[in-house]
Amino acid sequence: MSAVPKIVTSRREYADSYTLERYKTTGGFDGLKKALSMTPEAVCAEVDAASLLGRGGAGFPAGRKWSMLRKSDVSYLVINGDESEPATFKDHLLVEHDPHQLVEGVIIAAFALQVTQAFIFLRGEFALGLERVQSAVNGFYAEGALGSNILGSGFSLDIVVHPGAGAYICGEETSLLESLEGKRGFPRIKPPFFPAAIGLYGEPTVVNNVETVSNLPWIVLNGGSAFAALGEGRSTGTRLFALSGKVRNPGVFEIEMVKTTFRDLIFNPSLGGGVTGSGEVKAIIPGGVSAPWFYPEQLDLPLGQDEVADAGSMLGSGSIVVMDTSTCMVKAAWRITRFFSRESCGQCTPCREGSGWLERILYRLENGQGRMEDIDLLLDLCDNIAPGLTWPPQQTTICVLGPSIPSSIHSAISRFRDEFVAHVTNGGCTHG
Amino acid sequence: MNHLTPEMRTRAEKLVALYPEPRSALIPLCHLAQEQDGYLVDDAMIEIAEIVGVTPAEVRGTATFYDMLHTDSVGRYVVGVCTNIACLLAGGDELLAHAEASLGVRAGGTSEDGLFTLEETECLADCDIAPCVQVNHRYVRTTTPEALDSLVAELRAGERGEEIPPHGTLIRVERTVGLEASKDTIAAERATARAAAAERATVEGS
């Protein structure tokens, strides 16, 4: 593991990692200079060779997303930094600690795509991150690395840093574009499934995640094949994993894909350092709260896109929450469901009404007013939102927020039905 | 309608100029108005509507969708305590209950002196230092009741103003330049680049 490079967290050890001075003395601009000396096609080819999967949650190959836009004319690049999936905090690290790397990555992507303007959309709650990324953008302009004729290359680009205003749904890319157009964050009806066809202001647009583009300076400098040599199968390179919940050392870890298991991540002394509370794992949420849960028997699964998908869940946003055996599963499912209920945009009935109904049932179970028939009612309602309760879920709504709601409830009841029953017979939660 | 101060109005116009469509500046302008007044007052929404070319109802309709935009007054300090899953596992519920008791308000309320508004928030993306607390969207990393109490005492005493500006002030770093690449420059450059790319494609194909 020692030979694995830090691709996006190389400056993390420096207290001043966010400053232009530190950036310049640690290889800043190198990837950009190299990219500008190449043709846009060659830069795209390196990203294709890297097989870089999008790091936002869906895990779509970045190169393929780009190729949808390459033939078009006017277009925008929008960076999704609306990181709001519960327990996901990797982009937070990147925007606060290495904003220049992000901006460099954005320019490289824009050059490869030959887009005319780029926007970095950051969730409004990242006040410090917004200030640091704006400072970085200012620094790039001052260095001639942004604006007209970037570093004498004949390529011009403007980047605008855009603050969100607090809405989980804006992480959904079509909702993000609506928000960037100054509207409520209502996801758009699909198809088209990708904004590459009809994006910002109806123009072809690529939306990439903060971590995805932060990989680009390294990929351009070291070559796509060096990136692809890390990891295994479809999961290439390293990835940031955000570990939280009942672990000794919660935090963000940059790890080579597939080569580490959930068990390593949670128990390795240099990573998670073991489970707190009871010391034993009861369940883990492998990829954000939209993902079906895993249990102790899945701990030896590798942290890889397909490996996790084949086991019936998703690596999603790379956030892993550990729940120990003292955790109340009803309460956990309730809190996650309440989140979805609050953040549902309200466009689609199954999500808007379903999430609130589910939340109220879970609340009464947790607080002693539950009835035995509530348990099957929960599953029945979940089945109405995502018919068949399959994974990946069936879609009854405009976006995937609705069909993500059943994951935690279905996981909790399937595995811990006895706990739900006990909440009814004991008149509420006894977990204290 | 002149509700924004001349300085704010200038900043607003600079922001509008950054976007292909003025309406895109709607949310940034709402943040700006909150910086001036602490929250979004009606007159500010009317002026924003004028600036970006929509109706005041559209500004309100948009603003009320977002948690950070307040159409009712809030305290000088908006204290957000997260109770979502990672924070729940770290005692977020208990910390929120403590904050309610020590500030004397329920979540969603504002203290009588108008200094503090307490909010129960969804995930704030700082889950390794849980439970997560933000004041005016700045991470304060007070994970214990004691730490939260001393922070509140400091804020009451008027300390930490440097680090935590009054509610509404979000981004203290202003953009130093407008859009530099003119539409004509970009159009000319892209035409040249396209021609070069087409030539490369022909060479490769031959």
A416: domain CATH number is 1.20.1440.230
B172 min Cα distance to partner chain A (Å): 6
Which positions in chain A touch B138 (Cβ < 8 Å)? 127-128
Residue B28 Cα, gap to closest chain A Cα (Å): 6
- The answer on A138 and A37 residing in a single domain is yes
Residues A145 and A31 reside in one and the same domain: yes
Residue A70 structure tokens: 């390459």
Q: Which residues of A touch B136 (CB under 8 A)?
A: 127
Q: Which one of A265, A295, A324 terminates a domain?
A: A324
- The residue with tokens 């929250």 is B39
A282 touches chain B (CB under 8 A): no
Whether A359 and A307 share a structural domain: no
Contacts of A160 in chain B (CB under 8 A): 18-19, 179
Cβ distance A164 to B130 less than 8 Å, yes or no, reads: no
What ipTM does the predicted assembly reach? 0.97
pLDDT score, position B187: 86
Is some CB atom of chain B closer than 8 A to the CB atom of A40?
A: yes
Q: Which strands, in side-by-side order, build the sheet including A205-209? A: A158-163, A117-122, A76-81, A205-209
Residues A290, A362: one domain?
Answer: no
Instruction: Please give, rounded to a whole number of angstroms, the shortest distance from the CA of A214 to a CA of chain B.
Output: 18
Is B46 part of the contact surface with chain A (CB cutoff 8 Å)? no
Q: Which chain A residues have a beta carbon less than 8 Å from that of B172?
A: 131
Within this chain, do residues A139 and A206 fall inside the same structural domain, yes or no? Answer: yes
Residues 230-249 (A) with a CB less than 8 A from some CB of B? 242-246
Find the closest chain A residue to B125 by CA distance.
A89
Cα gap A286→A79, rounded to integer Å: 24
Task: Establish if B28 touches chain A: CB-CB under 8 angstroms.
Answer: yes
- Are the C-beta atoms of B173 and A135 separated by less than 8 Å? yes
A87: nearest CB among B52, B86, B137: B86
Q: Do B65 and A86 touch (CB under 8 A)?
A: no
Nearest chain B residue to A342 by CA distance is B122
| Nearest in space to A333 (alpha carbons), one of A285, A376, A386 | A285
Residue located via tokens 């004949």 = A154
Does residue A48 belong to any structural domain of this protein? yes
Residue A234 is assigned to a structural domain of this protein: no
Facing residue for A155 by CB, picked from B26, B61, B189: B189
User: Is some CB atom of chain A closer than 8 A to the CB atom of B30?
Assistant: yes
B197 touches chain A (CB under 8 A): yes
Inside any domain, residue A13: no
Q: Inform me whether the C-beta atom of residue A317 falls under 8 Å from chain B C-beta atoms.
A: no
Neighboring chain A residues of B189 at a CB cutoff of 8 Å: 154-156
Q: What percent of chain A has pLDDT over 90?
A: 92
Could A158 and B192 be called an inter-chain contact, meaning their C-beta atoms sit closer than 8 Å? no
Residue B42 phi/psi, 5-degree rounding, is -55, -45
- Hey, is the C-beta of A179 within 8 angstroms of any chain B C-beta? yes
The number of folded domains in chain A is: 3
Same domain, A268 and A177: no
* Sequence letter at residue A367: N
Q: Do A339 and B122 touch (CB under 8 A)?
A: yes
Single out the residue in A205, A228, A251 at which a domain terminates: A228
What's at B54, amino acid-wise?
V
State which H helix or E strand residue A253 sits in. Answer: strand A251-256
Q: How many CB pairs under 8 A join A and B?
A: 203
Q: How far apart are CA B113 and CA A83, in angstroms?
A: 34
Contact: B123, A87; criterion CB under 8 Å: yes
CATH of the domain at A247: 3.10.20.600
Q: Which structure tokens are listed for A52?
A: 């870089």
Could you report the per-residue pLDDT of A340-361, keeping only the tens digit for each? 999 999 999 999 999 999 999 9
Extract the tokens encoding A212. Answer: 């995805």
CB-CB under 8 Å, A116 with B186: yes
A384 and A416 in a single domain? The answer is yes
Of A40, A124, A182, the CB nearest to B24: A182
DSSP notation for A358-415: HHHHHHHHHTT---TTHHHHHHHHHHHHSGGG-SSPPP-SSSSHHHHTHHHHHHHHHH
Residue A12 lies in a domain: no
Q: Which of A72, A151, A60, A61 is nearest to A104 (CA)?
A: A151
Tokens found for residue B159 = 């300390």
Among B48, B59, B128, B185, the strongest candidate for a mutation testing the A interface, having the largest count of A CBs within 10 A, is B128
Q: Are residues A180 and A53 in the same domain?
A: yes
Specify the DSSP class assigned to residue A77. E
Last residue of a domain, one of A228, A258, A286: A228
Query: Is residue B190 within 8 Å of A114, Cβ to Cβ?
Result: yes
Whether residue A332 and residue B136 make contact (CB cut-off 8 A), yes or no, is no
For chain A, say whether B163 makes contact (Cβ under 8 Å): no
Q: Does A187 touch chain B (CB under 8 A)?
A: no
* CA–CA dist B91, B143 (Å, integer): 9
Q: What are phi and psi of B64, to 5 degrees?
A: -70, -10
| Contact state of A160 with B19 under an 8 Å Cβ cutoff | yes
Measured CA to CA in angstroms, residue A406 lies from A338, A375, B46, B80 at distances of 12, 13, 41, 27
Q: Are residues A269 and A387 in the same domain?
A: no
Question: Is there a single domain that holds both residue A148 and residue A125?
Answer: yes
Residues 329-388, chain A: which have Cβ within 8 Å of B? Answer: 331-332, 335-336, 339, 342-343, 345
Question: Does A431 reside within a domain?
Answer: no
d(CA A249, CA B160): 29
Inside any domain, residue A432: no
Q: Report the gap between the CA of A258 and the closest CA in chain B (Å).
A: 23
A78: which strand partners? A119, A207
**Contact yes or no for B197 and A128 at CB 8 A:** no
For strands B77-82 and A319-324, give the pairing.
Answer: unpaired
Q: Name the residue in chain B with its Cα closest to that of A95.
A: B125
Domain identity same for A259 and A130: no
Tens of pLDDT along chain B (206 residues)? Answer: 799 999 999 999 999 999 999 999 999 999 999 999 999 999 999 999 999 999 999 999 999 999 999 999 999 999 999 999 999 999 999 999 999 999 999 999 999 999 999 999 999 999 999 999 999 999 999 999 999 999 999 999 999 989 999 999 999 999 999 999 988 888 899 889 889 988 988 887 65
Q: Is A322 helix (H, G, I), strand (E, B) or coil?
A: strand
**pLDDT-based confidence at residue A1 (cuts at 50, 70, 90):** very low
Spatial CA neighbour of B135 closest among B82, B180, B92: B82
CB atoms within 10 A of CB B183: 11
Residue of A nearest to B91 (CA): A245
- Closest CB from A73, A162, A336 relative to B85: A336
- Please, which residues bridge with residue A231 across strands? A236
Q: Does A377 map to a domain? A: yes
Look at residue B145 in the predicted model and tell me its pLDDT: 97
B120 DSSP β-pair partners: B81
Q: Which domain holds residue A368?
A: 329-425
Distance separating alpha carbons of residues A137 and B177, to the nearest angstrom: 10
Is the CB of A125 less than 8 angstroms away from the CB of B68? yes
**Domains of chain B, each with CATH number or no CATH:** 77-156 (3.40.30.10)
Residues paired with residue A294 on neighbouring β-strands, in sequence order: A284
**Residue of chain B whose alpha carbon sits nearest to that of A72:** B194
A335 and A256 fall within a common domain: no
The radius of gyration of chain B's CA atoms, rounded to the nearest angstrom, is 23
CATH code for the domain of A117? 3.40.50.11540
Q: Which residues of A touch B126 (CB under 8 A)?
A: 89, 92
Residue A364 placed within a domain: yes
| Segment A172-183, tens digit of pLDDT | 999 999 999 999
By the 8 A CB rule, do B181 and B103 touch? no
Closest CA to A283 of A382, A410, A415: A415
Q: What is the pLDDT of residues A277-306, one digit of tens each?
A: 999 999 999 999 999 999 999 999 999 999
